[in-house]
Amino acid sequence: MTVTLKHVAERAGVSRSAVSRCFTEGASISSGTRAKVERAAVELGYFPNVLARSLTTRSTRLIGLVSNNFHNPVFLQIFDLFTRRLQDRGLRPLLVNLSEETAPARSVQMLRQYSVDGVIVASSTLPGGFARAFREAGMPVVHAFGRPADRPDVHVVGIDNIACGRIAAATLIARGYGRLGFLGGPQAASTTQDRMAGFLAEGSRHPGAGTVIRFADAYSFDAGRAAMQAAIAEGCFAEAWFCGDDVLSLGAISALRDAGLSVPGDVGVIGLNDMEMAGWAGVGLTTIHQPFDEIIAASIDLVTAMPDDPARAPVSRIFPCRVVERGTLRARC
Amino acid sequence: MTVTLKHVAERAGVSRSAVSRCFTEGASISSGTRAKVERAAVELGYFPNVLARSLTTRSTRLIGLVSNNFHNPVFLQIFDLFTRRLQDRGLRPLLVNLSEETAPARSVQMLRQYSVDGVIVASSTLPGGFARAFREAGMPVVHAFGRPADRPDVHVVGIDNIACGRIAAATLIARGYGRLGFLGGPQAASTTQDRMAGFLAEGSRHPGAGTVIRFADAYSFDAGRAAMQAAIAEGCFAEAWFCGDDVLSLGAISALRDAGLSVPGDVGVIGLNDMEMAGWAGVGLTTIHQPFDEIIAASIDLVTAMPDDPARAPVSRIFPCRVVERGTLRARC
DNA sequence: CGGAATTCTGCAACGCGTTGCAAAACGTGT
DNA sequence: ACACGTTTTGCAACGCGTTGCAGAATTCCG
C-alpha cells in the first residue's frame, strides 16, 4: 500500500539509514548510494512521511493559523498572503476558525495534539489572552494585528493604532472638517480603544474640532450601517467620520446616502485597512493603508525564529500606515 | 518538556498500554485504572499526540482544503463554512493555496507527505485534472463546486450549471427582456461553458430573444468591469445580462453605470452565487443562490465516507439553486 | 606502500503511541 | 473451594523515520 523507507532500502540494496540520510539535508552519503537510492525512490514513488519524521526531529512544519474574522472581506486577502508566504517557506497552515469560541483551551489543546511548530493568531478582535494561552502551552506564537506594547506578553506585529487615529483626525482637520465623528468597531477591542484615543488626542489639539463617538457591534457592513443609522436617528451628526475599518465605512456610507446625504458632498468618510474593495470603481473609499504584506512576512519571520532563541523577550513590530486618497473626502482646502 | 504516555503510565503506576487504552474509544479498561490514569493525565496535562497515533491508526484527521480562489469574496464565506463544519467533526483543514500553481504534482506530493485523510478541492476554475491527481495518488478526494457528470472521475458536489443558465434566461425572459447577454467568467472554465450552454438553450426556445456573449478573464470585479466596458465600447448591447458570478456582476454594473446606463432602469443584471455582499443595502443584486451550506456538508460527508468503501464509484451530488430577487432586474411584467 | 585522516555505512535504539496475544485477575455458580 | 467464563492487564512488536556510534571503506600524504 504505502511505500516506506524499508521498501526503498530493500530495492536499492542498502540499509534504511542510508535511505533516510539520502532525504535529510546535509547528511553524509556517497554519490554512489545516493544514486541507487534515488532511483529506487522514484521507481517506487517514495517520499518520506513528514509526520513520522516529526517524531524525532520535533518539527512538523505545521503552523496554526488562528482567526475569528471570517466575515470581513479583508481577511480573504490576509489568508491569501499568509498561505502563500507560508508555502513559500515550506510551511503548512493549519487553519483554526475561532468564530464561536470564547475560550482558548480547546484550540490550544488541539494545536498541541498536532504539535505545530508555531501559531499565528491573526485577528484584531481576539482578546490578548488567546495568544498568551498558546505561549503558556509552550508554543511559539505571534499575534498579528494585535495590540503593540512596550513589554508585550507575546510577539505582536501590527500597526500603531493610536497613530492611525491621529493620522485620521489630522487628515480630516486638514480638509477643513469641523465636527469630527469616530465610528469604532466593537468597543471592547483594543484596536477600537487605541484608534479612538489617537483620534481624540489629535482632535483636541485643534480647538475648533468637536468630536462625536459611536461604536458598531462588529467589523461588518451591517453593523456599520446600523450604527450610522442609529446615529442619524438620534441626531448625532459629524461633518466627517473616521471608521475603524473599511467594511464598516461602506456600511456607514450606505446609511448616510440612504438618509439623503451625499458622500463626500455633505459628509466625509475615511476608513482603515485599504482592502481590495476600497479601490473598486464606484466604491473609491479614502482610507488608511495597512501594509499587510510586511505585517504578514514579519509575523512569519518571528514565529519561525522563535525556536532558535526561546529566551528572547517578546517584541512588538510596528509598521507605518499611510492615507490613500480616493473619493470619500472633499478636496484639501 | 513534552509529557508522553510513559510519564503518565509511571505516575499512575500502570503500563503504557493501559494509558493508551484509556484514551482510545471502546477499549477494554476497568474503571479503577481509568480513574488512576485520568488523574495522572490531568495532573501532567497530558494529551495523546495525534501524529504519533496516526502512524498506527493510519488516520490523521487532517483534510487538505485546496483552492485557488483567494480573490472572490464569496470564498471567505466558503472557507468559513468549511473550517467550521470540519471542526465540528473533529477534522482539521490543511489549507493549500494553488493560486500560482499550474500543475498538481507539488500539492499532491505535499498532501501525501502529511498523510491527510482526504482532500477537498474547492474551486470552480481548477481544471478537473487536479482532483483526479489526488485520486490517482490514492487519496479520498471530492471536488466541491466542480462539474457534475453522469460518470465523474471523482466525487463532485455542486450545482447544475446548465440548469442555472436556463433559470437565468427564463427569469430574464419572464421579465420581458428581449435581447439577452451572457457575461461568463474565464472561457476555459467548465462552469462558464455549462452556464452559457444552458442560457443559450433556454434563450433559443424563445424566438424573440437574441443573445450576445462575453467573457471576463477572471471571477473578479475588475475583470467584470473591463469586460463590460469593452462590450459597451464595441456597441455590444443587451437589455439584461446574466453574469457568471456575483463579483463579476458588480464589476459589470459599475461599468454600465459609468456609461450612463441605469440598472435596472435601462439594463437588468442577474448574478450567481448570492454572496453575502449581494444582499448589502445599496448593492441589492438579484442573483441565483447557491446552497453553500449543503454543498459543503455534502462534500465533507463524501470525503469522510470514502475510506469505508473505497470501491464505490464516484458520484455527483447536485443541489438546486433558486433566484433571489433584489433590485437589479425590472419587475415582472 | 604504510598509516593516518576522512568519509560512509549499518546496527540498534529512540520518538510516541497502538494492538495482538497470552497470562492474570476477577466474577459466578455449585 | 473448584472449575469455568469474562474482563483486564502487560509484554513485545509494530508504524515510519532519525541518529549516535563504532567499524568499514576510502582518500590522502609522506
Q: Where are chain A's structural domains?
A: 5-48, 62-159+292-318, 161-290
Superfamily per CATH, domain A62-159+292-318:
Response regulator (3.40.50.2300)
Residue B277 in contact with partner chain A when CB distance is under 8 A: yes
pLDDT of residue A333: 64
CB contact at 8 A, B230 and B83: no
> With a CB-CB cutoff of 8 Å, which residues 106-125 of chain A face chain B?
109-110, 112-115
Q: B253 pLDDT exceeds 70?
A: yes
* pLDDT tier, B248 (very low <50, low <70, confident <90, very high otherwise): very high
Q: How far apart are CA A73 and CA A79, in angstroms?
A: 10
Q: How far apart are CA A186 and CA B169, in angstroms?
A: 44
Q: Of B236, B239, B271, whose CA–CA distance to B252 is shortest?
A: B271
Q: What is B298-328 written as a DSSP string? A: HHHHHHHHGGG-TTPPP-EEEE--EEE--SS
What does the H/E/C string look like for B276-303?
HHHHCCCCCCCEEECCHHHHHHHHHHHH
pLDDT of residue B209: 75
Q: Is the dihedral of CA B330, B162, B253, A72 positive or negative?
A: positive
B62-159+291-319 shares its CATH topology with B161-290: yes
Q: How far apart are CA B15 and CA B9, in angstroms?
A: 6
pLDDT of residue B25: 86
At B16-47, the pLDDT tens digits run 999 999 999 888 899 999 999 999 999 999 99
pLDDT of residue A23: 95
pLDDT of residue B207: 82
Q: Has domain B62-159+291-319 been given CATH number 3.40.50.2300?
A: yes
**What integer is the mean pLDDT of B176-198?**
94
What does the angle CA A262 – CA A265 – CA A266 come to, to the nearest 5 degrees? 70
C-alpha radius of gyration, chain A, whole number: 25
Supply φ then ψ for residue B331, to 5 degrees: -60, 150
Q: B1 pLDDT exceeds 80?
A: no
The reply to whether residue B65 touches residue A254, judged by beta carbons under 8 angstroms, is: no
**What integer is the mean pLDDT of B231-254?**
96
Amino acid letter at A33?
Answer: T
| Closest protein CA to C1' of nucleotide C14, residue | A56
Question: Distance between alpha carbon A289 and the CA centroid of its chain, in Å?
Answer: 14
At B111-151, the pLDDT tens digits run 999 999 999 999 988 988 999 999 999 999 999 999 999 99
Residue ranges of chain A with per-residue pLDDT less than 50: none
pLDDT of residue B333: 64
Task: Sort out which chain A residues have CB atoms less than 8 A from B114's CB and list them.
Answer: 50-51, 62, 92
**What integer is the mean pLDDT of B182-194?**
94
Task: Sort out which chain A residues have CB atoms less than 8 A from B222's CB and list them.
Answer: 280
Q: Of A331, A323, A181, A170, whose CA–CA distance to A252 is shortest?
A: A181
Task: Sort out which chain A residues have CB atoms less than 8 A from B51's CB and list them.
Answer: 51, 54-55, 60, 114-115
CB contact at 8 A, A120 and A271: no
| Residues 6 or more apart whose Cβ sits within 8 Å of residue A251 | A216, A220, A221, A222, A223, A224, A225, A226, A227, A228, B280, B281
* pLDDT tier, B305 (very low <50, low <70, confident <90, very high otherwise): very high
Q: What is the DSSP secondary structure assignment for residue A142, as one 8-state letter?
A: E
pLDDT of residue A274: 97
Say which residue the cell 480630516 belongs to: A172
The reply to whether residue B70 touches residue A92, judged by beta carbons under 8 angstroms, is: no
State, as a whole number of angstroms, the distance between the CA of B58 and the C1' of C22. 26
B161-290 CATH pick, 1.10.40.50, 3.40.50.2300, 3.90.1150.10, 3.30.70.870: 3.40.50.2300
At B84-108, the pLDDT tens digits run 999 999 999 999 999 888 899 999 9
The cell for B57 is 491508526
Q: Of B168, B170, B171, B173, whose CA–CA distance to B183 is shortest?
A: B168
**Cα dihedral: B188, B190, B196, B197 (round 10):** 120
Residue B238 in contact with partner chain A when CB distance is under 8 A: no
| Continuous H helices in chain A | 5-12, 16-22, 31-44, 50-57, 74-88, 105-113, 128-136, 161-174, 190-204, 221-233, 246-258, 292-305
